[in-house]
């Protein structure tokens, strides 16, 4: 991987992983019945992964977890990114064209539905469920959310408006995401590394997933400002990420729970999806 310019460290791309099983194509009637922003079903999510898995080894596609983080990075740009610009980096991170046999139209239709769903959630500062899959019982929270963060970093590295205009204002939520990356990939970002050093690692996967959503919404407050909603916004009442205790300091206590009860845990990955 080429060394990224300062302030825009490119996240490592996890190796491609096979789907749990070949996904059956969605029947045309079901596909046409879905509204543009309807959440993808489990079958459609598997279908999207199967499409990406079917690309040749000469390309470097995102997987479905990376796609989700990538879309959030696209949607946080201060100016909307046209679909034709961001779609090309899903089948190949460098934007190389897939083979003609690849069903790019179907991939685009599925991904654009998730884009629309996330766009509504971010615009309304509402909770959304990231596409996160538990790897195995031994995987740490950081290892599990790393592909999502790598997808987010891919978007921020590709579309630079967010960092060009708001780097200083988003330092804390960006550090909350990038603490899951290898520090060697952030060696040219001194301020970001210093902020990461103040953060304690998440104690659970649920906490790590909650911090993904919270960080996206905090960055949206900066890059996509909106009038305050009438009701409580998603994330209200959540504390900041735990800070590392200083020498001799007591370890921070448990984080406050989410309003209205705990958020649902991340999905367990089907066998074979890694």
Sign of the alpha-carbon dihedral angle for 59, 160, 5, 140: negative
Mean of per-residue pLDDT scores for the chain: 79
> In the prediction, which pLDDT does 14 show?
44
> In the prediction, which pLDDT does 237 show?
41
∠ CA 164-165-167, rounded to 5°: 75
Task: List residues bridging with 199 in a β-sheet.
Answer: 243
∠ CA 256-156-139, rounded to 5°: 50
- Interatomic CA distance for residues 94 and 107, integer angstroms: 17
- Strand ranges for the chain from DSSP E: 133-134, 267-268
> In the prediction, which pLDDT does 189 show?
83
Q: How far is CA 201 from each of CA 138, 197, 229, 264, rounded to the nearest angstrom?
A: 16, 10, 31, 20
- Interatomic CA distance for residues 217 and 215, integer angstroms: 5
> In the prediction, which pLDDT does 37 show?
67
* φ/ψ of residue 157, rounded to 5: -75, -30
> In the prediction, which pLDDT does 127 show?
96
Judged on CB neighbours under 10 Å (0-12, 13-18, 19+), 127 is middle
Question: What CA dihedral angle connects 67, 127, 214 and 123, to 10 degrees?
Answer: 80
> In the prediction, which pLDDT does 117 show?
97
> In the prediction, which pLDDT does 273 show?
42
Both tokens of 86, joined, read 């961001």
Q: What is the pLDDT along the chain (274 residues), one digit of tens a residue?
A: 343 333 334 444 443 433 332 333 333 334 334 566 689 999 999 999 999 999 999 999 999 999 999 999 999 999 999 999 999 999 999 999 999 999 999 999 999 999 999 999 999 999 999 999 988 888 999 999 999 999 999 999 999 999 999 999 999 999 999 999 988 888 778 899 999 999 999 999 999 999 999 999 999 999 999 865 544 455 444 455 655 544 333 333 333 333 333 333 455 444 334 4
Domains plus CATH for the chain? 28-225+264-268 (1.20.120)
- Interatomic CA distance for residues 158 and 144, integer angstroms: 23
> In the prediction, which pLDDT does 183 show?
87
- Write the DSSP symbol of residue 274: -
Q: Residue for token digits 């479905």?
A: 64
> In the prediction, which pLDDT does 145 show?
97
> In the prediction, which pLDDT does 272 show?
39
> In the prediction, which pLDDT does 186 show?
83
Q: Are 73 and 216 in contact (CB under 8 A)?
A: no
- Interatomic CA distance for residues 196 and 217, integer angstroms: 19
From the list 17, 26, 21, the residue with the least C-alpha distance to 107 is 26
With b meaning 16 or more CB within 10 Å and e meaning fewer, what string describes 40-64? beeebbbbbbbbbbebeeebebbbb
Q: What pLDDT, in 10s, does the model give residues 155-164?
A: 999 999 999 9
- Interatomic CA distance for residues 248 and 162, integer angstroms: 38
């Amino acid at each position: 991987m080429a060394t990224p310019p300062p302030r825009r460290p490119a996240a490592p791309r996890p190796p491609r992983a096979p789907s749990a099983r070949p996904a059956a194509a969605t029947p045309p009637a079901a596909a046409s019945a879905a509204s543009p922003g309807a959440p993808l079903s489990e079958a459609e999510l598997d279908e999207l992964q199967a499409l990406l898995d079917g690309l040749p080894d000469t390309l470097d596609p995102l997987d479905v977890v990376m796609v989700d983080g990538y879309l959030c990075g696209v949607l946080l740009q201060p100016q909307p990114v046209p679909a034709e610009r961001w779609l090309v980096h899903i089948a190949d991170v460098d934007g190389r064209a897939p083979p003609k046999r690849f069903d790019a139209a179907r991939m685009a239709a599925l991904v654009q539905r998730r884009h629309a769903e996330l766009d509504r959630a971010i615009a309304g500062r509402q909770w959304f469920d990231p596409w996160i899959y538990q790897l195995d019982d031994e995987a740490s929270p950081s290892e599990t959310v790393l592909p999502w963060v790598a997808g987010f970093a891919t978007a921020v590295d590709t579309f630079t408006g967010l960092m060009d205009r708001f780097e200083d204002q988003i330092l804390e939520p960006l550090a909350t995401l990038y603490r899951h990356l290898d520090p060697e990939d952030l060696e040219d970002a001194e301020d970001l590394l210093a902020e990461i050093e103040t953060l304690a690692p998440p104690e659970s996967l649920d906490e790590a997933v909650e911090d993904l959503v919270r960080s996206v919404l905090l960055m949206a407050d900066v890059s996509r400002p909106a009038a305050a909603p009438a009701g409580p916004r998603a994330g209200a009442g959540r504390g900041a990420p735990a800070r590392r205790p200083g020498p001799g300091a007591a370890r921070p206590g448990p984080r406050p729970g989410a309003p209205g009860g705990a958020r649902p845990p991340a999905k367990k990955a089907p066998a074979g999806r890694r």
